[in-house]
A and B are shown apart, each in its own frame.
Chain A
Amino acid sequence: MSFFSQPVGVSHFLVVGAVLFVSGVVCMAVKRNALGVLMGIELVLNGANVNFVAFSSPFLRSDNAYALGLDGQLISLFVIVLAAAEAAVALAITLNFYNNHSTVDVDRADELKG
């Protein structure tokens, strides 16, 4: 039975997550625009979020009878909040960088090189 004829399961979610993740990483690696890099980061995080959600019910369920099996969703909520905070800080850094260098090219941000 081919992958595409199977009913939608965990592996499909993982594929979507992997695609998102790889897109994000490629975006981070090729974009010289800092905003593009930030977008790539968002993609990477959301790729991970998809994985969390996918694994939530069957794999992250606790043996505890009272647990709801929503652990994956909760962690992805945290990740989203974290991503928002991270984006705020990163945008602030980007703005400052722009104020100082009149550009948002990440290749120009190499003053701390060894």
Chain B
Amino acid sequence: MAPDASLPLLLGLAWLLPLASFALIVLVGPKMGKAGVLAAYVATGAILTSFVLSVIAFGIWHFGHLGYDRKTAETHVVAAAEDAHGSGEHAAGESEHAGADSHAAHGVPTAPPRVFTKDWYTLAQFGALKLSISYYIDSLTVLMFTMVSLIATLIHFYSFGYMHEELHEVVDHEVTLADGHHLHRRGRFYRFFQYLSLFCFSMLGLVIAGNVLMVFVFWELVGICSYFLIGFYIERKSAQNAANKAFIVNRVGDFGMIIGMMALWASLGTFAFGDIDGQQGIFSSVRPSANESQVTVPDGMVKFAATEHVAAGVEATPAQISTWRSEGYGYWLLVIAGVGIFCGCVGKSAQFPLHVWLPDAMEGPTPVSALVHSATMVAAGVYLAGRFYPVFAPEALLVIAYVGAITLLLAATIAITAVDIKRVLAYSTVSQLGYMMLALGVGGWAAGLFHLVTHAFFKSLLFMCSGSVIHAVHTNDMRRMGGLRHKMPWTAYTMLVGVLAIYGAAIPFVVGLSGYYSKDSIIAQALSFWNSNPTHGAFFAAAAIGGAGITAFYMFRLWFMTFAGEPRDHHAYEHAHESPKVMYVPLVILAFFAVTVGFPRLPFSVPKLLEQARYPGEFTAGKLLPDLVYPEEHLSHLPQFHNQAEVVVTFVALGGLVLAIAFYGLRILNPAEVKSQFSAVYRLLWNKWYFDELYDAIFVRPVLLISKLVGNFDRRFIDGFVDGLARWTRAVANFDDVIDRYLVDGSVNVVAAWTYSIADGLRGLQTGKLRQYVMLIVIGTVALTLLIRWSVAAG
């Protein structure tokens, strides 16, 4: 089968299988074995099959060399490098990073990436406007499918062990009922897997989606799955609040996304990413090959922005449109479309200022945190920003970069003081997502998505390890842990691998863990951006490098506090035990991937795959900010940036590590002293920069105040009016009641009484004496005869 038929078939099946599992569990879940235990097998089987199908698709992509035959221009870079650097060092640097790569896909792409896109099903068509279910498959899609289904499969297995309590009657010790007892409820094992299946379906649908509308639909579906899973322990007040918070905060971002979609739909008349059946998609409109795939305001947007001229009678000829375009018409619309779509990503990926929901989302079971709130759903925002990358104007990218950099620093600093093991990881996730956004914002498309993939592996590993710890000691508080590496070696050392991966451990220039390669390429790109933009670049480079140091510090702090030193809570320590095999085997598998997934010299390494999907076209300067210049990402491989990045990041991260060892490993420095010395800073970080309080003050309280006022208005005026109407109705009804009772009922009763008394009088005639009846008949007959006789005679 040709790949244009086999890839959609394989990935489409992989996408729909979890839906089938979800439907099955919804229908017969509670009846599947004891306490629905078979539901887990169904869900796991579905996602495992999806993973196998994805791997086959991956194989077809790789061994079919589908993305490798793209035209690239290596010479272009060499020339640029000569300009920028003017030395022969470039060749050495190039062989360092791409020398072993015999494929041509590494370089500056000149043609659009190899893409399979088509409609599966048309939902509705209004003239030229079409809503459809379509696919858009490039190497990024294949990569994401494999990554998502692999992690999801491992987490399904892990959940067998983690959720086993739900197989029996559950006593929820965090819920106290009115009578002082703890809540007893039935186990919800099957329901957990039901939501996991729905989530997998939604997430894969989001990845395979071929148009913005479909993305939006699945975007909301993963949102509702997240809501269900955060609120899995729905009886806990904190879980209810966290689920609501996640949902509502995401709505804020989705509002922006809808604005972006409206801008695209109204001006371009299509939602499709790629060109389907000759109809131009969004990407080729914004990046036309006629203009060397540079960002160009599409004709539709120009016309839309110049509506008043069209209305005034100026004919929109192609020449006129290009005049308008050079005058800047429609550029704002393009920026708004980009920033609007990015708003959705801000909500979903928990970026500043909508980052507040993700730490609270840790109320959900830990496998959910590992799958939904670290590896896949929150990364979907980054994925969408990456998928939509061709549409972002330089100004929109600058917004992305600033948001990413602020998020990165903000979340990393909060993670320093957090003591809840899952919250440290949650802030770490927010911070790493900021990294990815920063990378995309400074032009590092492949770098950002590379970090997305590596982060997914090591962060889900870290979360699952933390889940294993929580499973063992039944607390989230790191202050009650310590020394656990003796009790649970598998968890401790796989978690150490995860910590080293996020730290970016490596022997510089030789070999390193996955986080090393991805973080490195982000920082190299930030440096490259700084080189072209001295004004903005310094902050981004500083944020990226500083973030690496803080990450190293808080991750090792976490590991030392949990596993090293003396146990601080002996009761918890005594009861701690290694998790069952079904839980730590996935940890080992993930640890393997956390080490290897970033390795760049494999024939199918992640960076090479991502290069195949990278959209061509260097950014020219922005129209609104003319001195904003985006360097071609390939330039970041130049040794002047790359080597610098490796050296700097190694030292900064080492600094963080040394500090963490000093504070928590060897205990040379006392954290409590630092805490009292910088108590103001500590309080600021401990209270998460007061963001919750700020939002409470500027959003929640005013809303409550307004609701109270409106409520009072309701009570006084509207309720008063309604009550008055009701009283009046009641008076009328009372009057009616009197009429009914005395007039209508009275007349009917009188008739009945008459009938009764007459009948009672006639009763005496019915003596029951047969002979008397005969006599009466005779007398009557004779009387009648005589009467007639006389009346005839008288007549």
Contact = CB atoms under 8 A, between A and B. Distances in A.
Contacts of B770: 37, 106-107, 109
B786 interface: no
Contacts of B767: 110, 113-114
A114 B771 contact: no
A25 B770 CA distance: 12
B318 interface: no
A37 B764 CA distance: 24
A114 B763 contact: yes
B766 interface: yes
Interface in A79-114: 106-107, 109-114
A45 interface: no
Nearest to A40: B774
A25 B769 contact: no
A32 B769 CA distance: 10
Nearest to B770: A106
A67 interface: no
Contact of A113 (B762, B768, B771, B775): B768
Given A29-B771, A107-B771, A113 B766 contact: yes
A28 interface: yes
B23 interface: no
A32 B768 CA distance: 13
Interface string B724-768: 000000000000000000000000000000000000001111111
A107 B768 CA distance: 8
Contacts of B765: 114
Given A114-B762, A114-B763, A28 B774 contact: yes
Nearest to B772: A29
B28 interface: no
Given A114-B762, A114-B763, A29 B768 contact: no
A1 interface: no
B774 A112 contact: no
A53 B260 CA distance: 111
Interface in B671-709: none
Contacts of B771: 28-32, 37, 106-107
Contact of A112 (B762, B764, B768, B778): B768
A30 B769 CA distance: 12
Tell me whether chain B's interface is mostly helix, strand or loop, or mixed. Answer: helix
Given A109-B768, A110-B768, A110-B769, A29 B762 contact: no
Nearest to A24: B774
A79 B765 CA distance: 31
A113 to B, nearest CB: 3
Contacts of A114: 762-768
Interface string B153-190: 00000000000000000000000000000000000000
Contacts of A32: 771
Nearest to A106: B770
Nearest to A30: B771
B774 A111 contact: no
A32 B764 CA distance: 22
Interface in B93-149: none
Nearest to A32: B771
Contact of A29 (B763, B766, B775): B775
A109 B767 CA distance: 10
A29 B764 CA distance: 20
A12 to B, nearest CB: 21
Interface string A16-39: 000000000100111110000100
Nearest to A107: B769
Nearest to B765: A114
A109 B770 CA distance: 8
A25 to B, nearest CB: 5
Which of A32, A37, A113: most chain B Cβ within 10 A? Answer: A113
A112 B768 CA distance: 6
Nearest to A110: B768
A31 B771 CA distance: 8
Given A114-B763, A114-B764, A29 B774 contact: yes
A25 B777 CA distance: 10
B701 to A, nearest CB: 85
Interface string B771-794: 100110010000000000000000
B768 A25 contact: no
A113 B766 CA distance: 5
Contacts of A107: 769-771
Which of B769, B770, B775: most chain A Cβ within 10 A? Answer: B770
A112 B774 CA distance: 16
A36 to B, nearest CB: 10
Nearest to A22: B778
Interface in B211-238: none
Contacts of B763: 114
A48 B766 CA distance: 28
B238 to A, nearest CB: 82
Contacts of B775: 29
B148 to A, nearest CB: 91
Contacts of A106: 770-771
Contacts of B764: 114
Interface string B58-97: 0000000000000000000000000000000000000000
B264 to A, nearest CB: 93
A61 to B, nearest CB: 26
29 contacts: A25-B774, A25-B778, A28-B771, A28-B774, A29-B771, A29-B774, A29-B775, A29-B778, A30-B771, A31-B771, A32-B771, A37-B770, A106-B770, A106-B771, A107-B769, A107-B771, A110-B767, A110-B768, A111-B768, A112-B766, A112-B768, A113-B767, A113-B768, A113-B769, A114-B763, A114-B764, A114-B765, A114-B767, A114-B768
Given A25-B778, A106-B770, 4 more contacts: A31-B771, A107-B769, A113-B767, A114-B762
Top 8 closest pairs, chain A to chain B, by CB: A110-B768, A113-B768, A114-B766, A114-B763, A106-B770, A29-B774, A28-B774, A29-B775
Interface of A: 25, 28-32, 37, 106-107, 109-114
Interface of B: 762-771, 774-775, 778
